[in-house]
Amino acid sequence: MSFEKPIQILVAEDDEDDKLLILKAFERTLPKEKVTCVEDGDALLNYLRRVAPYNDLLKYPRPDIILLDLNMPKKGGKEALAEIKSSEDLKSIPVIIFTTSSNIDDIQTTYKMGSSSYITKPGSFEELIKVTEEIENYWSKTVLLPD
C-alpha cells in the first residue's frame, strides 16, 4: 500500500550556496513550489506563526517537514527547535536537523528536544541528491504525516 502524498518542505538555511544546492537537489524529486527557504531561526518562526511577510497561506503553506540548520545568525537551530516543540500548534511538524555538525552533543541534545532525524550535510552534490531523494521517499511515501 502506498501513502504517496506530495510534501511541503521548509528549509531553514543561512548559507546561500547550501540553500541553492539543497533546492537544486530537491528539484529532481519535488516541484519547485514544494520547497521554501528561510534564512534563519527568526524567519522560520515568523513563517510558522504567519507573521508578515509570511501571512499568505497560499504563498507560504504550512510545511509537512522542516529541514533545520543548527548554526544560523539571529536565532540558531536549537533555539528555533525549542520554540517549535513547545508550541501546541507547531510541535507536530517533524523537524529534521540538517547541519554540518557531527558533534555527539548536538545529536543527543536535538533528539532530546524533539527532532525527528539528524542528518549531517553530505560533502558532494551527488550525495546531497541521494539524501534529498531519501528524505522525499521516506516522508512522502513511507510515513503518514499529520494534517
Sign of dihedral through CA atoms 32, 146, 133, 21?
positive
Taken in order of first residue, the domains within the chain and their CATH numbers are 9-136 (3.40.50.2300)
C-alpha distances (whole Å) from 79 to each of 12, 41, 58 are: 13, 8, 27
pTM for the model:
0.92
Residue 102 neighbours by CB under 8 Å, 6+ apart? 120
Residue 30: pLDDT band (50, 70, 90) is: confident
State pLDDT tens for residues 38-55: 999 999 999 999 999 999
pLDDT tens digits, 82-118: 999 999 999 999 999 999 999 999 999 999 999 999 9
